[in-house]
Amino acid sequence: MLARQDELNGILRALDDRDGGIDSPAAREIVARMKAQTPAEAEAFDDVTGRWSGYVHGTAIADIALRGLPDARIVVARQQWWHGRPPVPCWTRELADREAASIGDLLAFLVASGARVVNMSWGRAERAYLGNLQACAPQMPDGERRALARYSVERIRAVLQDGMRNAPQVLFVGAAGNAGASLQEENPATRFSLPNFIMVGAVDRHGAATDWTNTGAEISLFANGDRVPARLPGGSASFPSGTSMAAPLVANAAAKMLTVAPGLDGARLRQLLERTATPNATGQRLLHPRDAVEAARAEVVASGAGTARRPTPSIRSAQQAPIRGKP
C-alpha cells in the first residue's frame, strides 16, 4: 500500500471532508465513486481504505499530541488486531489470555521508557469480539460467544488497571469511542475509573457533544474531535474526526502542564485538567488547555519550587480508528 500513499491519502482527505460536512470537489467525487461501486468493488475499497486509515492513525495522533512541544519525546507502541473477512484468527480463550499478557507488557514498556503521558486509542470493546466470533464462528452458541467476549474484556481490564496503579506518576488518557453508544453497552476494557486515568469524549468545533461520541459516567472530559488538524505520512494535512483525535488534545495539554510543573503526578494532572474545564450548554466539561497549564504553573509557584522546563515525553498507542467512512 505504501506505493499508493498519495492516492490513499487523497481518499482519506476526501472522506474527512465528507464526514465533516464540507462540500468540496473531493468530497463530491468520493461520494459519486462510492455510489457507483459494485458490491465487490465496495468491499475491496473498504478493505484498503480501512487498512490505510489504521496505518496512518498513529501519525495523526502523534502530530496532534506533540503540537507546540518541540522538545518532547515520543514512544510508539504497536498493537496487532485480527484482519480479514471472516477475521483471522478466530477468537479463542487462549488468544484472549495472550492478548491481555501482551497489553500488560506494552504498558510496562511505555512506563519503563519514561512515559509521563500515555495516549490510548485502544478500547477493546466487547462488541468487537462478538462481531469477530459471529463472523468466524457462526456455529458457536450465542451464550458461549458472549461469555468469551466478556472474558476477553475483563482480562484486559484487569491488566490495564494493575499497570496504571503501578505507575502513579503517569497520566493515562483514553478515547471513549465513536459508536454513539453508552460505555455500558459497548463495554470497552477501558470502562473504569482510576485517579491517573482520564476518559475523553468528543465535541464538535462549536463545543457541542457529537452524535457519534460514546457516553457514560466514566467520561470526565471532552475535547474537540471534529476535523482536528493533523498530518498524514509524507506531511500533507488531514482533518480526521473521532474521539481518537480528542484524546491527544488532552495528552498535549497534560504534556504542556509537565513542562512548567514536572513534579505533578498522574492524579494531580487529571484533577487540574478537570478543575479548569469549561462546561458547555449540556453540561459536558470541555478541555481548556491554557487554564490547565496556568493552574499547573500556579502550583509550582505556590510551592516555592519555581518553574523548570524539560523535555516531556508524550506517548501514544493507537488502535481505535477515526470515523472516516462513517455512514
- For the cut 60, the answer to whether the pLDDT of residue 305 exceeds it is yes
- For the cut 90, the answer to whether the pLDDT of residue 312 exceeds it is no
At residue 306 the predicted structure's pLDDT band, cuts being 50, 70 and 90, is low
5-19 and 39-66 helices, crossing angle to 10°: 90
- For the cut 50, the answer to whether the pLDDT of residue 190 exceeds it is yes
- For the cut 60, the answer to whether the pLDDT of residue 80 exceeds it is yes
Taking the C-alpha atoms of residue 199 and residue 121, their distance in angstroms, rounded to an integer, is: 10
Taking the C-alpha atoms of residue 101 and residue 95, their distance in angstroms, rounded to an integer, is: 10
- Lowest mean pLDDT, pick from 55-59, 82-86, 276-280: 82-86
The three three-digit cell numbers of residue 160, written as one number: 490495564
At residue 326 the predicted structure's pLDDT band, cuts being 50, 70 and 90, is very low
Bridging pattern class, strands 117-121 and 171-175: parallel
pLDDT of residue 313: 45
At residue 318 the predicted structure's pLDDT band, cuts being 50, 70 and 90, is very low
pLDDT of residue 115: 95
Looking at residues 241-266, what average pLDDT do you find?
97
Taking the C-alpha atoms of residue 247 and residue 120, their distance in angstroms, rounded to an integer, is: 8
pLDDT of residue 44: 93
Looking at residues 267-275, what average pLDDT do you find?
98
pLDDT of residue 87: 80
Asked whether 10 and 19 are in contact (CB, 8 A), the reply is no
Taking the C-alpha atoms of residue 203 and residue 119, their distance in angstroms, rounded to an integer, is: 18
- For the cut 80, the answer to whether the pLDDT of residue 174 exceeds it is yes
Looking at residues 256-262, what average pLDDT do you find?
97
Q: Which residue has the cell 514536572?
A: 262
Taking the C-alpha atoms of residue 224 and residue 20, their distance in angstroms, rounded to an integer, is: 13
Compute CA distances 39 → 27, 44, 147, whole Å: 21, 9, 33
Cis peptide before 311 (omega within 30 of 0): no
Asked whether 62 and 74 are in contact (CB, 8 A), the reply is yes
At residue 324 the predicted structure's pLDDT band, cuts being 50, 70 and 90, is low
306: left (phi over 0), alpha (psi -120 to 50) or beta: left
pLDDT of residue 322: 58
- For the cut 80, the answer to whether the pLDDT of residue 98 exceeds it is yes
pLDDT of residue 317: 46
Structural domains for the chain: 2-318 (3.40.50)
At residue 253 the predicted structure's pLDDT band, cuts being 50, 70 and 90, is very high
- For the cut 80, the answer to whether the pLDDT of residue 79 exceeds it is no
Looking at residues 123-130, what average pLDDT do you find?
91
The chain-wide mean pLDDT, for the chain, equals 91
Q: Provide the whole-model pTM.
A: 0.91
- For the cut 50, the answer to whether the pLDDT of residue 323 exceeds it is yes
- For the cut 60, the answer to whether the pLDDT of residue 240 exceeds it is yes
Looking at residues 118-123, what average pLDDT do you find?
89
The share of the chain scoring above pLDDT 90, in percent, equals 82
